[in-house]
Structure 1
Amino acid sequence: MEDPPCVYDRSEYIETDTGNKVSRYSVICGSQNIVLGGKTVIQRDCMVRGDLRRTGAGHAVVVAIGRYCFLGERCVVRPPCKTYKGQFNYYPMKIADHVFIGEDSVIEAAQIGSYVHIGKNCIIGRFAIIKDCCRILDGAVVPPNAVIPSFSVYGGNPARLVDELPESIQEVYEQHSKEFFEEKFVLA
Structure 2
Amino acid sequence: MKKYFILYKLFLLFLGTFFLVYIVLTVLYQAYLNSFGENKLDIITRMVAENTNQLFQLFDANFRIEENESQSFIKLIYDQKYVGRIVEGCNAISVIILFISFVVAFSGKLKATLLFIFGGSLLIYVLNILRIAVLSALIFYFPKQEPFLHGVLFPLYIYGVVFILWLIWVRKFSRYASKDIK
Q: Is this a same-fold pair by TM over 0.5?
A: no
Which structure: greater strand fraction? 1
Instruction: Identify the structure with bigger relative contact order (alpha carbons < 8 Å, sequence gap 6+).
Output: 2
Which structure: greater helix fraction? 2
Rg bigger for which structure?
A: 2
Q: TM-score, normalised by structure 1?
A: 0.27
Q: TM-score, normalised by structure 2?
A: 0.28
